[in-house]
Amino acid sequence: MPASVLLPIVELAFILATTPQSWSVEGFSTPESVVWDERSDVYLVSNINGGAHDADDNGFISRVSPPPDPRIVDIAWIDGADRDVTLHAPKGLALAGELLYVVDVGAVRMFDRTTGAPRGMVDVPGMFVNDIVASSDEGGVVYVSATGLDRSLSPRGAAGIWAIEQGVARPVASGAQLGGPNGLAFANGTLVVVGFGSGELYRLCGGRRAQIEKLPAGGLDGVVVLPDGRFAVSSWDASAVFVGGGGLWRKEAWTVPTPADLGLDTRRGLLLVPSFSENRVEMHAVSAP
C-alpha cells in the first residue's frame, strides 16, 4: 500500500478502538470537565458541588481509573475543604507541563500535576469563566473562555476569551459576536471555539471569528479534536455529542442528558463525557468516519 494512504499510527489506533463500547462511573457532584492525564493514566474530573457561580470553597477534583475497570480512585484528590486549598466551583481543566490548570469562579488556579499541591492563581474578569485549553504541553500560553451566563445559564454578562501568559491574563476577544464562548480546543495551531448561545463552531484568528459552522443543535459546551481531525462537540439542546466538521455532522448514538466539557483518551479511543445533572461520567468509543 502506498505510504500516502496509510493512516498515522495514532489515528489508526483510535479508529480500531472505536468498537461499540461504553462505560460510566457515578458518584460525582455536578461534574463539569474531564481530562485524561496521559502520564499517570488517570482521568481528572472537576466537581462544582453547588452553584456554578458560588464562591463557597467546596469544589473538588476527582481521580478516576480508566477502563476496563473505571472507578473513582480518589473522590476529592484536590479539595476546597482543605485549609491550604481554595476551590469554589471548578469547571474547565487543562494539563500543561507540570501543572493542572483549573477554571474557578473569576480565576484560574494552578495545581501540581503529580501531587495536587496549590501552585498559584490568576484572576480572570468576565461572567461565568468556563473552559481552558493550553497552547502546548510545555506550559506556554493558556486560553480561557468567559461565557457570560447568569445563574439560570442565560446570557446576561460580559463574554470573552482571555490568554494567560507568565501569570497575567490579557483579553483576546470580547462581545456578543462570540456567541457565548464555551468549549476551547486547538486544531493545527488555531484556537477553536464553540458557542453555548450561538450553536456555532469557529476558529479565532487575530481576535476575529473565521470558518464559522452552524451545528445541528445549540447549547454547545465541550469540544475536542479527534486524532483523525474531526471535532467532537457536546450539545445540551440535543442531549448528545456531534462528531464531524466542514459542515458535515453526525450525532453519536448514545444520549447524555447534559453533556458538559469533553475529554479524550487517545490510548483507548474513548471520548470522556461528564453528565452535568446526572452526577456521572461516561466513556464512549466514537464511531469511525
Q: Read off the C-alpha cell for 168.
A: 497575567
Question: What pLDDT score was predicted for residue 93?
Answer: 98
- CA 288/CA 243 separation, integer angstroms: 10
- CA 90/CA 80 separation, integer angstroms: 10
- CA 179/CA 22 separation, integer angstroms: 32
Tens of pLDDT, residues 27-76: 999 999 999 999 999 999 999 999 998 999 999 999 999 999 999 999 99
125: Cβ–Cβ under 8 A, 6 or more apart, which residues? 106, 146, 158, 160, 162, 169
CA 57 to chain centre: 21
Distances (CA, A) of 55 to 58, 86, 136, 158: 8, 9, 30, 19
Residue located via cell numbers 502520564? 39
Q: Read off the C-alpha cell for 163.
A: 490568554
The pTM (predicted TM-score) of the whole model is 0.91
- CA 24/CA 287 separation, integer angstroms: 18
- CA 183/CA 34 separation, integer angstroms: 12
Alpha helices (H) along 133-282: none
Record: fold of 3-285: Neuraminidase (2.120.10)
Tens of pLDDT, residues 237-271: 999 999 999 999 999 999 999 999 999 999 999 99
Distances (CA, A) of 108 to 93, 125, 131: 10, 10, 10
Using alpha carbons only, give the angle 194, 47, 153 rounded to the nearest 5 degrees: 45
Question: What pLDDT score was predicted for residue 1?
Answer: 40
Question: What pLDDT score was predicted for residue 138?
Answer: 58
Domain boundaries, the chain: 3-285
Q: Which residues of the chain have pLDDT under 50?
A: 1-19
